[in-house]
């Protein structure tokens, strides 16, 4: 009798356990709002479910992604593969429920939960990130990027009084997300295209000085100018030296240029984590949307977050570069 | 002994996994139910996640009110967010904070836009289990004084009322006999600012023991209650 009970418990538990493990590979997306066309809704749900399930299977088997046959553009496949070369990820939730947002070019599903596992890193060195999947108007996947947080996204979409055009706000956020993910993909080709030929790149660096009235903390920031070519050459070398690069943006602020209608100042707080280096700082960019299908960055500056991290001395946020520091 | 250990592992491991999935299933169920409005954020700390989730919820409520009323929403939303419930789970190295509220709970406030919520219609979602032994005045007061937020009050006052320890309660504007009424003062963010004893012009602050008055809390709301002793 005892043996029968033991066997029964073992079989039932093994069944529950294995069904849990099996179902962890499969992801199902359900859209709860935002799209009236039922057929299109099902198409998008199915595409994302198939894609995320394949991502989970590839991560579990530590293999490359098999994206042929999945309803996505060739460009989206290429971008996703580039990202996969640097970092693997998976979705640990069997069911994801999200709204579908309408964009200028189609639709978006945001907040896809991912567990990131940089290639070559320790298996317990995992991090949480969220992805945004973009779709054309007929439901084909056109992009897979890592997101700004939903809270930041909706804060900018709802509260940005400086930019009255909601469509333009969404466009700017989309490009900032794409720009951020391009570092994670080590996508030099995109970065070469997005920076204008005469782009100005400024990098700040903290140096120690004798404490004085002007520099009471005993530190000051010096600035170094680079051309686009110099910056991209250095970046390409950095990409070659590192196994993975993980860039996150938070605390985004977007301001319209007072006189030039398609020009915007974008400030983000950036955290840069690479296999051999990490830092935190403020990145300020001047984006030009004159050609909204190929916006350009004319200025990119970086300033460190801390003057003295050991003492917890942060840079004054009022010292971060703004549009008024540059004349275009 | 080995067999017993094997049975325990085989039995409890899937149960743990099922418990973790249960919260996620509940979140998804609420998200799929159009009777609810929600805000959700995943962040490094619970404090930041909860603060941002509540901001997200406020924005969702504002959006819903504006669609419902076809007019810009100018009312203060903090008292509405205080009514919200939450589910907290882990996501790898981060905390997921899911804050939600039933639309029907907002309807009384919608009908009186611009006025603080109708506390006479407080209804807890769950009633805490209280001991069946009779409680004296001090122990009842002690329970009420343990509340840190307006949201917590909901789960404390209503059961005490149902068990007959609280005779009546309501909004400050409806208070009839101040000399018999205790007061709970709360800020627009829902934080409890003071518990005041019975009285007319002068009351005793039940936490500090000092003389106090509801007039010292300009900009705050207040609930009165009478005990059945």
pLDDT computed for residue B2 by the predictor: 58
Q: Searching chain B, which residue's CA lies closest to the CA of residue A7?
A: B7
Contact B81, B59 (CB under 8 A): no
Q: Is the pLDDT of residue B163 over 80?
A: no
Q: How confident is the model at residue B88 (pLDDT cuts 50, 70, 90)?
A: very high
Task: State the DSSP string of A253-317.
Answer: EEEE-SS-TTEEEEEEEEEEEETTEEEEEEEEEEEE-SSTTS-EEEEEEEEESEEETTTTEEPPG
Q: Give A-chain residues touching B45 at CB under 8 angstroms.
A: none
Asked if B17's CB is within 8 angstroms of A151's CB, the reply is no
Asked if A280 is an interface residue toward chain B (Cβ–Cβ < 8 A), one would say no
CB A220 within 8 A of CB A206: yes
* pLDDT bracket for residue B7 (50, 70, 90): low
CA dist., res. B16 & res. A13, Å (int): 12
B16-69 pLDDT, tens digit per residue, is 555 557 899 999 999 999 889 999 999 888 888 888 899 889 988 988 887 777
Would you call B17 and A20 a contact, using CB atoms and an 8 Å cutoff? yes
B43–chain A nearest CA distance, Å: 9
**pLDDT reading at A278 higher than 80:** yes
Tens digit of pLDDT for each residue in B95-126?
999 999 998 888 766 665 553 333 333 333 33
Quote the CA–CA distance of B96 and A61 in Å, as a whole number. 28
Contact A16 B18 (CB under 8 A): yes
pTM across the whole model: 0.66
Q: Please state which of the ranges A77-91, A136-150, B154-168, B179-193 shows the lowest mean pLDDT.
A: B154-168
For chain B, percent of residues with pLDDT exceeding 70: 76
pLDDT at A4 over 80: no
In Å, how far is B88's CA from the nearest CA of chain A? 15
CB pairs under 8 A between A and B: 74
Q: Is residue A271 less than 8 Å (CB to CB) from chain B? A: no
Contacts of B93 in chain A (CB under 8 A): 126-128
Grouping H, G, I as helix, E, B as strand and the rest as coil, residue A160 is coil
Which runs of consecutive H residues, i.e. helices, occur in A28-107? 38-61, 74-86
Whether chain B has a CB inside 8 Å of the CB on A277: the answer is no
Strands (E), chain B: 36-43, 85-91, 94-102, 166-171, 182-186, 192-196, 203-204, 211-212, 221-227
Nearest partner of B4 among A247, A244, A5, judged by Cα: A5
What does the pLDDT read at residue A123? 55
Position A276 scores a pLDDT of 78
Of A10, A128, A158, the CB nearest to B42: A128
Can you tell me the distance from the alpha carbon of A247 to that of B51, in angstroms, rounded to the nearest whole number? Answer: 24
Q: What residues are paired with A41 via a beta bridge?
A: none
pLDDT digits (tens, 9 = 90+) for A220-270: 888 899 999 999 999 999 889 888 888 888 888 888 888 888 899 999 999
Per CB-CB distance under 8 Å, the chain B contacts of A96 are 28
Interface of A with B in 141-200 (CB under 8 A): 149-151, 154-155, 158
Q: How far is CA A102 from CA A178, A226, B62, B211, in A?
A: 17, 38, 19, 58
Query: From CA A5, how far away is CA A11, in angstroms rounded?
Result: 10
What percent of chain B lies above the pLDDT cut of 90?
A: 20
pLDDT in tens, A110-137: 999 999 887 766 555 678 889 999 999 9
Predicted complex ipTM:
0.75
Strand partners, A113: A130
A115 and B43 within 8 Å at the Cβ level: the answer is no
Per-residue confidence (pLDDT) for residue B3, from 0 to 100 = 62
Write down the pLDDT at residue A115: 92
Structure tokens at B85: 């419930």
Chain B residues near residue A98 by CB distance under 8 angstroms: 31
- Determine, for residues A30 and B21 on separate chains, whether the beta-carbon distance falls below 8 Å: no
Mean pLDDT, chain A, rounded, equals 86
Supply φ then ψ for residue A261, to 5 degrees. -65, -30
């Amino acid at each position: 009798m005892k043996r029968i009970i033991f066997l029964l418990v073992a079989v039932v538990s093994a069944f529950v356990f294995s069904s849990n493990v099996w179902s962890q590979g499969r992801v199902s997306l359900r859209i709860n709002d935002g799209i009236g066309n039922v057929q299109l809704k099902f198409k998008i749900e199915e595409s994302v479910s198939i894609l995320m399930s394949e991502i989970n299977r590839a991560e579990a088997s530590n293999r490359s992604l098999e994206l042929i046959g999945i309803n996505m553009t060739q460009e989206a496949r290429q971008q996703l593969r580039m990202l996969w070369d640097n970092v693997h990820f998976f979705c640990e939730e069997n069911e994801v429920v999200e709204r579908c947002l309408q964009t200028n070019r189609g639709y978006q599903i945001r907040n896809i939960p991912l567990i990131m596992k940089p290639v070559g890193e320790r298996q317990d060195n995992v991090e949480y990130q969220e992805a945004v999947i973009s779709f054309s108007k007929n439901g084909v996947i056109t992009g897979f990027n890592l997101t700004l947080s939903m809270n930041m996204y909706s804060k900018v979409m709802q509260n940005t009084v400086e930019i009255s055009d909601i469509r333009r706000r969404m466009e700017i956020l989309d490009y900032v997300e794409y720009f951020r993910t391009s570092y994670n993909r080590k996508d030099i080709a995109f970065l070469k295209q997005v920076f204008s030929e005469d782009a100005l790149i400024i990098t700040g660096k903290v140096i120690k000085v004798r404490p004085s009235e002007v520099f009471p903390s005993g530190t000051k920031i010096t600035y170094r100018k680079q051309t686009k070519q110099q910056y991209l050459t250095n970046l390409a070398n950095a990409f070659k030296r590192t196994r993975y690069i993980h860039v996150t943006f938070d605390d985004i602020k977007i301001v319209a240029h007072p006189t030039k209608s398609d020009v915007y100042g974008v400030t983000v707080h950036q955290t840069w984590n690479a296999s051999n280096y990490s830092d935190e700082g403020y990145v300020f960019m001047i984006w030009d949307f004159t050609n909204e299908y190929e916006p350009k960055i004319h200025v990119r500056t970086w300033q460190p977050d801390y003057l003295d991290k050991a003492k917890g001395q942060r840079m004054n946020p009022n010292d971060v570069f703004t549009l008024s520091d540059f004349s275009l | 002994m080995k067999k017993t250990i094997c049975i325990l592992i085989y039995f409890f491991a899937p149960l743990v996994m099922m418990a973790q999935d249960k919260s996620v299933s509940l979140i998804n169920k609420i998200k799929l139910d159009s009777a609810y409005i929600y805000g959700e954020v995943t962040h490094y700390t619970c404090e930041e996640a909860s603060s941002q989730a509540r901001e997200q919820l406020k924005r969702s409520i504002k959006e819903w009110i504006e669609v419902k009323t076809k007019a810009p929403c100018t009312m203060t939303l903090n008292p509405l967010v205080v009514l919200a419930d939450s589910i907290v789970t882990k996501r790898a190295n981060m905390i997921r904070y899911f804050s939600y509220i039933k639309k029907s709970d907002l309807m009384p406030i919608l009908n009186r836009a611009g006025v603080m919520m109708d506390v006479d219609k407080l209804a807890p979602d769950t009633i805490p289990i209280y001991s069946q032994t009779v409680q004296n005045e001090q122990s009842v007061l002690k329970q009420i004084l343990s509340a840190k937020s307006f949201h917590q009050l909901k789960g404390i006052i209503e059961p005490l009322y149902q068990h007959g320890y609280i005779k009546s309660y309501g909004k400050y504007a409806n208070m009839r006999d101040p000399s018999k009424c205790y007061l709970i003062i709360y800020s627009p963010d829902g934080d409890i600012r003071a518990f005041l004893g019975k009285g007319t012009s002068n009351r005793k602050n039940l936490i500090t023991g000092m003389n106090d008055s509801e007039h010292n809390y300009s900009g705050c709301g207040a609930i009165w209650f009478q005990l059945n002793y």
